Chain A
Amino acid sequence: MPATDTGSTPGAALELAPGLAPEPTVSYQLRVDGARHQVHGAWLGASLLSVLRDTLDLTTVKDACEQGRCGSCSVLLDGRLVASCTVLAADAEDAEVTSVAGLRPSGPARAVAAAFVREGAVQCGYCTPGMVVAVTDLLARRPDADDGEVREALSGNICRCTGYGRILAAVRAVQDERAGR
């Protein structure tokens, strides 16, 4: 995980906006995994990641670098893969947010999750929710993606345990399975 220059711990967003009195706050609705959530009095500067985890307690979305570099907080925003730490939560008001928990069961998500477990692509597991979102996004668009495309599509999701070999094997297993090979 890349170090942040603040030396801060994840989840401490509200303590890190010094010198602002009163704190600008805002209330809005978010649609996450098909459900509407009311957010009351959140800090205006809060990222989608911090509101999902700290306000709505949706902790399947993981928090690591908070700089848009590690991919552990990946979600779909109106169907596009994004790092939720780079999205302003208050600006996602009219968007559809999809976390790993809300991926369509009719798509490749279940097969991806099962293959990750079967192929040993999950070790500490912290990158896994973001990885599964990214792999599902890729295979929904490009079911026959070749090795280079898979690597490029996952280049924004950092895993510090597996060395990626088992993750690539899991993606190939899903591709084979879905192609009836």
Chain B
Amino acid sequence: MTGVATMRRPRSLSEAIDTLAASPGADLLAGGTDLVPALRTGARPVREMISLRRIVELRARGAAGDWLTIGACATYADLAGWSLAPGLAATARSVGSPQIRNTGTVGGALGTASPRGDLLTFLVAADAGVVVTGPVGQRQLGIGRFLADRHGPDELVTAVKLARPCGPQTYLKIGARQTASIPVASCALVVDRVRRLVRCAIGGVASRPVRALAAEDHVAETADWSTGALPPDAAHRFGELVAEAVTTAPDVAGDDVYAPAAYRSHAAGVLARRAAARCLAGARGADARRP
């Protein structure tokens, strides 16, 4: 990039795409909750910036058929009371503080892709799709693929897609305090009572949220799917398998100032067991079927 950095403030998505095509790789500014403090400390340099704040179309959210679509500039506050997506709403409500929830966006969470990000962990458990848009149009990537490959320098995240919930979902975390505190470990659990499976993601323990596949399979095989109940010994084993998945994750975080690695994997197992108790308690959970 040459010359002095500037900021562009497009008013529409098509204008944003043209602007990005003219300065590929520019920093995309959404809520600013990550970028602005990082500019302040010098952790990130001031580069060419494109603000997405004025693009109203990116704030839309809606439901069509079996899918929920959330615009990249929807804030956590926009999602915190959304009855169609209770797991997403619970996750959004647990993020930061009221000030951060009013500012931070879904697209920002994906752009920063903090391994401790609350929303990112939930989106991994929900097996979300990420819609990216560039000069040649839009394409949808699975969340795993998005985190591995990101998007091109001339593309931006424009939306996230989630399957409509088909069962209970929850998001639990452990941190120094509940508010505005980076979680030491977190657990998102999504139950699909129609397909008779669960997906579980653990945040804060590796460079990106970890899916606990063996633990998921264990639940799929041992739950009573007619009632949605998991027997207590199976729930206990689920917690153990989640802790194991954390310990054996390829790029697991070591001891750091927040917690020793052993505490993290232990905490992940405990959170997973609690999440199972909430979501797989049997008949009580039946009212959380497809709305």
Interface residues of A (CB under 8 A from B): 4-6, 8, 13, 16-20, 22-26, 43-45, 47, 50, 66-69, 71, 74, 80-83, 85-88, 90-91, 93-94, 134, 152-153, 155-157
Contact = CB atoms under 8 A, between A and B. Distances in A.
B180 A91 contact: no
A88 B179 contact: no
Given A83-B99, A134-B98, A26 B41 contact: no
A16 B41 contact: yes
A86 B36 contact: yes
B96 A24 contact: no
A34 to B, nearest CB: 21
12 contacts: A26-B7, A47-B37, A71-B97, A81-B99, A82-B102, A86-B33, A87-B32, A88-B35, A88-B49, A134-B98, A155-B178, A156-B97
Contacts of B49: 44, 88
Interface residues of B, number: 33
A155 B180 contact: yes
B40 interface: yes
Nearest to A73: B99
Contacts of B42: 6, 16-18
Contacts of A80: 77, 102-103
A87 B199 CA distance: 35
Given A86-B32, A91-B29, A68 B7 contact: no
Given A26-B6, A86-B37, A81 B32 contact: no
B117 interface: no
A82 B103 contact: yes
Interface of B: 4-7, 9, 29, 31-33, 35-37, 39-42, 45-46, 49, 51, 53-54, 77, 96-100, 102-103, 178-180
Q: Which of A44, A66, A82, A86 has the most CB of B within 10 A?
A: A86
Nearest to B44: A45
A93 B9 CA distance: 10
B36 A85 contact: yes
A152 B100 CA distance: 13
Given A82-B102, A86-B37, 9 more contacts: A5-B41, A45-B36, A68-B180, A80-B77, A81-B102, A91-B7, A91-B9, A134-B98, A155-B179
Given A44-B49, A81-B102, A66 B40 contact: yes
A126 B257 CA distance: 29
B19 to A, nearest CB: 14
Given A81-B98, A83-B100, A20 B46 contact: yes
